[in-house]
Structure 1
């Protein structure tokens, strides 16, 4: 069983990721949290948590980990400090501790932030974080979903390196995709876009993994 650090574990999507990992036979989640009281929330559910603030030093957070999911977001409040620089800190820590794979939650539009009508600052931060990971020599998968909804997941998605269209996807299905992308053979060093669709998540990932 592999140890997986989840940055952004207290967020809406992050919580879903942690619980999926906790139910997995392959992975053991470690939730990265900012506050001491959040440690207790996870421990009540039998999930281990690590104290660390993405705006400060997180260089030891990846110690003892095998893989990392970065799903943190500032909700538009501190996009440079958290979405960009926080991501870079986690990448640096992952290099330091020789993490086997980093799965990054990005966003559709992060490839060309300058073309976005809104959220330009957010998409630029995501773009910079993605590029930093790409150049890190770590094994990675970058996942760029469309607009996130709280609809119930279907377990099926549309996935491509470039979908060439806008759309939405449930947080459930995003979380499932991120967890599936942790596997060693899934979408190695690929950047993928995902939306609602009709292909089972595992099959969709298999297609870009070959």
Structure 2
């Protein structure tokens, strides 16, 4: 069965889709704009055109697992944060429940558990993530919530820390490492109802996340 990737055209999403496809994992990349299909098509990755702010039920057809790594982006206002990072996530959780998917892998954020501790401009985003995570926990959908620290474009080391103590207080992780962590979790189907802080570290991914 396939895994639906929501937010596939984002910086983490593209890296994850490429890694998963190379690993032989059946995935379907959900994209909003048909003009985005070329990048995925060149790599042999299946796509479905659907809008997180519109009707996207059809994207779930034939998928038994979902990765949610969508985000409104740093250049949008609180309105898009509400519609995508919060309500888009809630609608995804509801559809996952209705369709009986086996698991939802949610990319959240480390500071989501305490939005007021985040920089002021990030607080609406963190509050949206906080509420979406709470909604997922209260649902009946099996899930894993990933809480990456500050995202960077460093080359993936495939080494993680799962706490600030372990990372030596460094609150950052490369997008590539998040993508590799998602790939590990995609395969580790026995891991359900778990949450992980994700930071750059020294442990191999399988040692850090288990499964």
| TM superposition score normalised by structure 1 | 0.91
Q: Distance in 2 between matches of 1:88 and 1:190?
A: 18
Does the 8 A contact of 1:59 with 1:89 survive in 2?
Answer: no
* 1:133-170 CA-partner distances (Å, limit 9, x unpaired): 11111110000011111110111100159979551111
RMSD of aligned C-alpha atoms?
1.8
The answer on 1:23 being equivalent to 2:35 is no
* 1:147-200 CA-partner distances (Å, limit 9, x unpaired): 1111101111001599795511111110111121222123x2012101111110
Does the 8 A contact of 1:161 with 1:190 survive in 2?
Answer: no
Structure 1: runs of 5 or more not aligned? none
Structure 2: runs of 5 or more not aligned? none
Match of 1:125 in 2: 128
Deviation of 1:90 after TM superposition, in Å, equals 1.3
Q: Distance in 2 between matches of 1:97 and 1:162?
A: 39
Does the 8 A contact of 1:60 with 1:93 survive in 2?
Answer: no
| TM superposition score normalised by structure 2 | 0.90
* 1:118-145 CA-partner distances (Å, limit 9, x unpaired): 2110000111111111111111000001
Match of 1:150 in 2: 153
Q: Distance in 1 between matches of 2:35 and 2:178?
A: 27
Pairing 1:41-190 to 2, within 5 Å after superposition: 41-76=39-74, 77=76, 78-118=80-120, 119-160=122-163, 165=169, 167-182=171-186, 183-186=188-191, 188-190=192-194
Q: Distance in 1 between matches of 2:49 and 2:116?
A: 35
Moved over 6 A (4+): 161-164
Does the 8 A contact of 1:58 with 1:89 survive in 2?
Answer: no
Deviation of 1:44 after TM superposition, in Å, equals 2.5
